[in-house]
Structure 1
Amino acid sequence: MIQTKLDFVMLERKISGKELAQKIGITPANLSVLKTGKAKGIRFSTLNKLCEVLDCKPGDILDYEPDDPLTGDLDEK
């Protein structure tokens, strides 16, 4: 499962959700969906803007954790 580390990067960069959302051109609500990991996908253009504004690489804000083979992907309920 892909997990986001966006909260941590934002904290390190001292940028608020409202400010980041404005700089990358999405609503604060959509940024919240990205931060909580509830998004089903992300556009490359949005990922590009996030990396540009936060001065990071995609791997700095996204992480991969294998699904637990016993429980499967819990997000697909």
Structure 2
Amino acid sequence: MPPEEDPGRVHCRLDELLEERGMTLSRLAELVGVTVVNLSVLKNDRARAVRFSTLTAVCDALGCEIGDLLVLRPR
């Protein structure tokens, strides 16, 4: 399937990581320096692109690796 037809296999586990840490999306947004709306787009798997600096900041704030945050769904 061409990439433009692929519904998106990359899944963001932000909800699970926030819950495990007892942190809100609002608090994470404060720590990372991005809007809640931008994090919500990422959290709900609607992001089409994300800056490496944002990924790094999210992982630093959550104490995780990028592979903990983003996973590939099976085909």
TM-score, with structure 2 as normaliser: 0.85
Amino acid at match of 1:10: L
1:11 aligned residue: 19
- Which of these residues, 34, 38, 47, is aligned with residue 26 of structure 1? 34
Partner of 1:37: 45
Moved over 3 A (4+): none
Q: Distance in 2 between matches of 1:33 and 1:15?
A: 17
TM-aligned CA deviation for residue 66 of structure 1? 3.9
Identity of aligned residues (%): 40
Aligned partners of 1:63 and 1:24: how far apart in 2? Answer: 21
Tell me, which stretches of 5 or more residues in structure 1 are unaligned?
Answer: 68-77
RMSD over aligned CA atoms reads: 0.8
| 3-state SS, counterpart of residue 26 of structure 1 | coil
Between the two proteins, the alignment pairs up a number of residues equal to 67
Task: Return the alpha-carbon distance in structure 2 between the equivalents of residues 66 and 3 of structure 1.
Answer: 10
